[in-house]
Structure 1
């Protein structure tokens, strides 16, 4: 499994179905990769077609291969409502390095609840191997100590 940084660009959503009949919805997204979690800004009054254009970074270090997006509706007087969720499998972006803007279906209880657009980029961690060099021992190594006697 590669190690590195996953960059998630949360672009927009459309067709969101909220629970507030009298007012437009104020959507936001909770992005989760393993135990790492980020929350987007709340798009107040954006209704069913919010625009975020926000970037989030996750550290990839083991075999977890899913990014979860939970689309929420901000409520002022009650608990926030879950609009729906998206599970993005990361195998392709970990292999290719990036995926362009892609639209994913938002689902709740196996029902279509809108679409969300996301772009993904994976930057692999570089392993820098240091080779042995005999000259390194001259500076502060055993050769310098031996010369002092």
Structure 2
């Protein structure tokens, strides 16, 4: 069961569905890992090929094995619209430690609607930390702190 930090570098996207009639779309991304969520900046007027180059950190403490990227379109007058999502399996990342910039398909209603590019790094938690319980159970200071 991996424990540590997941670093996600959100690079950009291409080929997103530009459904705006008179202007370009204003895309942003909601990154989700288990109950943790981060939101990228809105790329106003970026259209179907936005660039973010933003970094997000998640705490990994259980066996959840996928990262979800929901690409949204900021709408000033109505609810924001979903442009699709990409689900990235993390098992290979936990084994390798890092995955270079890779493009993942963005899907909506089981149809391809663009690509999103991210780079991933997993830093495992070190087990060399101080553990007071372990020290006490080995005959540490408790046995030697009696009155003289």
Q: TM-score, normalised on structure 1?
A: 0.89
Unmatched runs of 5 consecutive residues or more in structure 1: none
Residue 16 of structure 1: aligned partner = 16
Shift of 1:114: 0.7
After the TM superposition, which residues 88-127 of structure 1 pair with which residues of structure 2 at under 5 Å, given as runs?
88-127=88-127
2:46 alignment partner, SS class: coil
Which residues of structure 2 form unaligned runs of 5+? Answer: none
Match of residue 41 from structure 1: 41
Distance verdict in 2 for CA 1:143–1:110, change over 3 Å: closer
Over alpha carbons, which structure has the higher Rg? 1
Cα-to-partner distance string for 1:68-87 (whole Å, 9 max, x where unaligned): 00000001001111000000
The Cα shift of 1:111 comes to 1.1
Residue 60 (1) aligns with residue 60 (2)? yes
CA RMSD across the alignment: 1.6
Find the counterpart in structure 2 of residue 146 from structure 1. Answer: 147
Deviation string 1:91-123 (CA, Å, 9 cap, x unpaired) is 000010000000011010111111110000000
Contact in 2 for aligned 1:19/1:81 (Cα 8 Å): no
Instruction: Give the TM-score of the pair, scaled to structure 2.
Output: 0.90
- Give 4+ residue runs of structure 1 displaced > 4 Å after superposition: 129-134
Count of residues paired in the alignment: 143
Query: Aligned to 2:147, what secondary structure does the other structure show?
Result: helix
